[in-house]
Amino acid sequence: MAEQCRQISTTARPAKGRLARIIAAIHSDEGAAAIPFMIALPIFITIVGIFVQYALLINAKVMVQQAADLAARAAATSLPDEHPENVLKAARMSLAMLSPQSSQTNPEGSAVYEALVRSNADPVPPTFAQRYTYAMDATKVSWTHQNASFVDHKGQLIDVTVEYKFYLTVPGAMRLLSGPRSPAFQGTVGGVSGRFYTITATSQVQTSHGRKTGTDGAGWPG
Amino acid sequence: MSRLFQRSILRLHRNDSGNIGILLLLTIWALVAMIGMVWNAAEFATRKQHAQLAVDSSAHSAIEWSSRTTNLISASNMLIGENASAESILRAIPPTINGLTSRLNREIQDINRLLGQSQQTQTQNQNNPNPIDPGAEARLSLLLRVLPQLLAELKTEQALAQPFILTGSAGLSITPATELARRRGEIFEYQQEIVALTPGVIEEQRAPLEKFYKCDLTFANPGDVNAVSGQSDRFSPPVKEVNQVNVEGVQMPGTAIPDPDDGDVWVNGGTWGWINDPPLRRFLVDRTWRDQKGLEALLKPVDDERREFSQWVEQLLRIPPNAWGPSTDPTIIQAITNGFNSAADQVRRMHLVEPFAIDLWHNSVWSALDAMLRELGNTPQIAFVTYDRYPVPEWAKAGMYQDAYNYVYNDVYGRNHNRLWWRRYHEVLNQLLKQKVPQGQAVPQARAKADEFATRIATAGAIIIATDAATQWINRTWPYEMEPPQSPMPPAVGPKKEDRIQYLTLVGAAKTTDDTKVRITLPRLFNAAPDKPMVVFAQAENFNWMEFNGSYGAGDRYDRHDPPAPWRVSTIGGWNWQSRLSLSDAIGPALENNPQLRSFFDDAGVRYDPEVIDEITLH
């Protein structure tokens, strides 16, 4: 086919004006490489996108694990001292920076944002309150012996589990993560619609002794 | 411009070299950024975890020293209590031996004298040619029959008392009381040394911990408002030295009650609310009660013998079946009966069958213990840091008043009723007998009048004294180990939050160093400030499970006449101090009071704002 074209171009009479230039351009092989490039580019971008999405997922996994560790540390002292809300809050604060902005702002998010700004803690983006609001809806924290009272029990080993709905941001790549067995799903979380990937991390911790632990006659926890 | 652009486009069309290079560059850049992002997240998490581990373990370890010292003080206080208990018992031995021997000797002497008199009378009767009063003869025969048996019995009791006398005397010769007092002094010096050493030990431990974790560490006492900048706070155990802790009682000499027959009748009062040596009282009293049981067991045979003897002595004192002989004359029978009864009463009045040895021992022990408590209360000792005199809480006043009232009322009534009863009984009986009222009628009448009089006067006196004493009772300050809760127990059981923060809590902070700081990759891209150190904190506290044990803190009653006795550093319950990490509710006061702790936060760029600190303090 290319040979035939070359023959036509060499045997045909040269045309005049604009038409002649167009015919010449068609007959020319300059830029022919751009066509396969254009075909390959989306595939390439998709591959890079998948790579980026996986990298973001790995990063999210690391941060959810960190959130689980922080929640576990909070649980170690907050559960026996009767402040279980701290466990959830520790995870949310940790995951706020990973979260997209919610369309709403929860007062808790605003309070935490204000506290962080006033304490000059870490660099806090102005969108922190909205991100925290998303994290409030996206984060679930649970621990073993959840119904037990820690204040009147000696220290015990517990597993603190953080479940976080990670927002998938790379178009196309997120579809590839979906599947019947995948923890990815489509829906709305914290006012943000799109695809999400549920990440779970667990951290084990020994709680402090409860101050009100009952004792036997010898003074040891009964 | 448009020509230049056209040429550039055309060049791109013509020249396809380097296309892959651009893509590769983009890919590599994306790769590096992604790896950097994951690296930074992991690095931050790891460093923070490391610093948190450093401060958690060091704060826990530091407070552990405080717990150990507190337990050591409690244990050594118990040792002082055991020593004082031994001394109380040693001091109780001589009066008990004296009381025991003198009572048995006196009883033997009394019987010997009566027996001698009876034998003498018998001799006189035998030489008397005149007829003898049948009643006197009956009396004499009973005495001559019973007294030798009583004498033999008392000698048996003397023999039974020997083990106590020998063991007690041996104990006295082995350990003199002065030696025990000297050893108590040594234990106290040891306690002082331990308390003084503890802050230094915590401080000494800080340097190796810093080296181990490669973090700067500081410990702060939230309650220490005099903390020195540039030094880690010196955290002291929750104990203090006290002296002269005896509390004088309320003295009520008594009151006069008007009586239509007698004028004013005096009702004796007393002294209530003595508290000698409060910090050690609880353990010492318990310990002495247990320790005295060993010697008490040696006296039990004496009392058992007397109890057993009481069973058959009554049989001995009964009128024998053939006492009247052939006589049927009622006057003679009555005379003989009176004679026997008179002899029996005389024997009964000697109280020979009344167990007394253990009571004597207990009285001696409690008397020695009281003296010991008073003596210890006047010597320095180590008590819990919050030990002081506090007013009775409002909510407990009503209950304490009623309980103190009942206690004093019963005491006054019990002590006076008997005295007044006998006094009025004898008065009335003598009066009736003088009026030739037959004894059979006079006695019941005297009893009835004595009952009425004693009950009326003792009740009236007890009400006045109990009201007065109970009123003073609730309006005075009492030595409490902790400030009494301002709301009824048990919700407020255990130290108050303020006390816990001030005396039992330690706040630690760790700051990363060059070795442990967060190493951010692509800091500009990730807007990080790697030069600032990271600071983390932890709070640890000394606590005691016995606060919630019914035999100790949870059993404390503030609405009783006998307020809760200290236990936190002087009993087995006070030997259970534990260390724990706690929720950091004292970070605010710690930052306010401790310049070095504040400098850690300043270095990390964290500003202390008391209004929002609780919002972001989550562990």
pLDDT score recorded for residue B478:
92
Say yes or no for a CB contact (<8 Å) between B13 and A34: yes
Mean pLDDT within A22-27:
78
For residue B42, the chain A residues in CB contact (below 8 A) are 62
Higher-scoring residue by pLDDT: B245, A28: B245
Query: Counting beta carbons within 10 angstroms of the beta carbon of residue B205, is it exposed (0 to 12), middle (13 to 18) or buried (19 or more)?
Result: middle
pLDDT score recorded for residue A14:
52
Mean pLDDT within B552-572:
91
For residue B14, the chain A residues in CB contact (below 8 A) are 30-31
Average pLDDT value over all residues in chain A:
86
Q: State the Cα–Cα distance between residues B44 and B353, nearest whole angstrom.
A: 88
For residue A213, the chain B residues in CB contact (below 8 A) are 545, 548
Q: pLDDT tens digits, residue range B117-151?
A: 999 999 998 888 887 888 888 889 889 989 999 99
Q: pLDDT tens digits, residue range A83-101?
A: 999 999 999 999 999 999 9
% of chain B residues with pLDDT over 70: 96
Helix B278-291 vs helix B293-316: angle between axes, to the nearest 10 degrees? 50
DSSP B244-281: ---BPPEEEEEEEEEETTTEEEEEEEEEE--B--HHHH
Mean pLDDT within B332-344:
84
Q: Is residue B1 over pLDDT 60?
A: no
**Which of B20, B615, B617 best probes binding to A when mutated, by most A CB atoms within 10 angstroms?**
B615
Q: State the Cα–Cα distance between residues A222 and B120, nearest whole angstrom.
A: 74
Q: Is residue B611 over pLDDT 60?
A: yes
Q: State the Cα–Cα distance between residues B364 and B93, nearest whole angstrom.
A: 8
The minimal CB distance from A90 to the residues B16, B546, B618 is found for B618
Mean pLDDT within B520-549:
84
Band of pLDDT at residue B17, cut at 50, 70 and 90: low
pLDDT score recorded for residue B404:
96
Separation of CA B146 from chain center:
51
Q: Is residue A181 over pLDDT 50?
A: yes
For residue B613, the chain A residues in CB contact (below 8 A) are 115, 119
Q: State the Cα–Cα distance between residues A26 and B415, nearest whole angstrom.
A: 132
From the CA of A23, how many Å to the nearest CA of chain B? 16
For residue A80, the chain B residues in CB contact (below 8 A) are 580, 582
From the CA of A125, how many Å to the nearest CA of chain B? 11
Band of pLDDT at residue B230, cut at 50, 70 and 90: low
Q: Give the chain A residue whose CA is nearest to the CA of B610.
A: A119
Average pLDDT value over all residues in chain B:
90
% of chain A residues with pLDDT over 70: 89
Q: pLDDT tens digits, residue range A74-84?
A: 999 999 999 99
Say yes or no for a CB contact (<8 Å) between B606 and A65: no
Band of pLDDT at residue B314, cut at 50, 70 and 90: confident
Say yes or no for a CB contact (<8 Å) between B606 and A69: no
The answer to whether the Cα torsion of A213, B495, B610, B512 is positive or negative is negative
Instruction: Tell me which residue of B607, B618, B604 sits closest to B51, measured CA to CA.
Output: B604
Higher-scoring residue by pLDDT: B3, B421: B421
Say yes or no for a CB contact (<8 Å) between B16 and A33: yes
For residue B543, the chain A residues in CB contact (below 8 A) are 209, 211
* Interface predicted TM-score (ipTM) of this complex, two decimals: 0.84
Q: pLDDT tens digits, residue range A106-138?
A: 999 999 999 999 998 777 889 999 999 999 999
% of chain B residues with pLDDT over 90: 60
Question: Rounded to two decimals, what is the model's pTM?
Answer: 0.84
Q: State the Cα–Cα distance between residues B30 and B24, nearest whole angstrom.
A: 10
Among A48-57, B311-320, B398-407, B525-534, name the one with the lowest average pLDDT: B525-534
Say yes or no for a CB contact (<8 Å) between A209 and B549: no
Q: Is residue B51 over pLDDT 80?
A: yes
Say yes or no for a CB contact (<8 Å) between A211 and B38: no
Q: Give the chain B residue whose CA is nearest to the CA of A91.
A: B618
Q: Amino acid identity, residue A195?
A: R
Band of pLDDT at residue B326, cut at 50, 70 and 90: confident
Dihedral pair phi/psi, residue B565, rounded to 5°: -85, 145
Q: How far is CA B290 from CA B77, B369, B553, in A?
A: 17, 13, 22
pLDDT score recorded for residue B336:
85
Q: How far is CA B381 from CA A140, B284, B375, B409, in A?
A: 54, 14, 12, 35
Token readout for A78 is: 């907050």
pLDDT score recorded for residue A41:
81
pLDDT score recorded for residue A43:
82
The minimal CB distance from A115 to the residues B38, B616, B619 is found for B616
Distance between start and end Cα atoms, chain A: 92
Q: Is residue A5 over pLDDT 60?
A: no
For residue A62, the chain B residues in CB contact (below 8 A) are 38, 41-42, 45
DSSP label of B504: I
pLDDT score recorded for residue A1:
46
Q: Is residue B488 over pLDDT 90?
A: no
